[in-house]
Amino acid sequence: MKLLLAVLRQTHRPGAPFRCCSTLRSSGSPSPSQDEVIVGSSPELVGALGSQVEVRPGFITEEEEAALLQELEPGLKKKRYEFDHWDDAIHGYRETERVRWGPVCEGILNRVRSLAFPQGSPLLGPVHVLDLDKAGYIKPHIDSVKFCGSTIAGLSLLSDSIMRLVKDNSPDEWLDLLLTRRSLYILRDQARYNFSHEILKDEESVFNGQRVPRQRRISVICRNLPD
Ligand SMILES: O=C(O)CCC(=O)C(=O)O
């Protein structure tokens, strides 16, 4: 069974039209702060979800990204991108999962785990790796409560992208997260259960009024187990 499809619960149409607040730094400047990478439909929503949505720009170094790619590329290259039926939750992807990693990558993943998950929280053993083609995207969905617990933590490799969260049954309530290349994002609790998440396609990839070109993107995703 396809790994991602196994954890997705539902899809729905995107919410209200995009509109937002602060400005982005020009490229080449240091990593933006957390305040500069999360915008939303209201300051109240950004404040309320503050502790449940985190983006850490520059979480890994260029060398660490290269180490992850070196481990992942040989296996991924053997697979074909899948451009599936229109109603699948994901379009233009290939994926794998990995249990054993070399020491550098294991060190990176341990940093992710200790930051994202409460101590002692049982984790899903294999780490999920999702390779989105430049033309690929992930439609709005909520991960299945049957397979994943309260927290999802993902590293973004190779490209900036935008993750959009839209409140279930309330499309006017949304957050956009700018997932810069080499950043880490964490979704917890309400943000994970009550909001859909999606990765915007290149043509729609605009953050706070500024275009964010989407290239091929690999995400390395850790999850905990349901209670
Ligand atoms: O690629 C990502 O970072 C998001 C993946 C995703 O939507 C999921 O695993 O549920």
Q: Specify if 16 maps to a domain.
A: no
CATH of the domain at 42: 2.60.120.590
Q: Specify if 197 maps to a domain.
A: yes
Q: Specify if 138 maps to a domain.
A: yes
Instruction: Quote the ligand 1 centre to 48 CA distance (angstroms).
Output: 22
Which atom belonging to ligand 1 lies closest to the Cα atom of 4? 9
Which atom belonging to ligand 1 lies closest to the Cα atom of 8? 10
Which atom belonging to ligand 1 lies closest to the Cα atom of 217? 1
Number of compact structural domains in the chain: 1
- Ranges of residues in the chain whose predicted pLDDT is under 70: 1-30, 34, 84-87
Instruction: Quote the ligand 1 centre to 222 CA distance (angstroms).
Output: 10
Tell me the C-alpha distance between 43 and 39, whole Å: 8
Which residues on adjacent β-strands are paired with residue 125?
A: none
| Predicted local confidence at residue 14, as pLDDT | 38
| Predicted local confidence at residue 227, as pLDDT | 85
Q: Specify if 52 maps to a domain.
A: yes
> By residue range, what is the domain housing residue 128?
3-10+31-223
Query: Residue for token digits 């006017």?
Result: 172
Q: Specify if 23 maps to a domain.
A: no
Residues within 6 Å of ligand 1 by CB: 7, 130, 138, 143, 154, 197, 199, 219, 221
| Predicted local confidence at residue 88, as pLDDT | 80
The 10s digit of each residue's pLDDT in 184-224 is 999 999 999 999 999 999 999 999 999 999 999 999 999 99
Tell me the C-alpha distance between 155 and 216, whole Å: 14
Q: Specify if 115 maps to a domain.
A: yes
Q: Which of 94, 152, 155, 217 to mutate to test the pocket of ligand 1 (most atoms within 8 A of CB)?
A: 152
Q: Specify if 26 maps to a domain.
A: no
For the chain, helix, strand, coil in percent to 5 are: 25, 35, 40
Instruction: Quote the ligand 1 centre to 64 CA distance (angstroms).
Output: 20
Instruction: Quote the ligand 1 centre to 6 CA distance (angstroms).
Output: 12
Q: What's the start-to-end Cα distance of the chain, in Å?
A: 23
Q: Specify if 182 maps to a domain.
A: yes
Please, which residues have CB within 8 angstroms of residue 108's CB and are 6 or more apart in sequence?
60, 64, 67, 68, 155
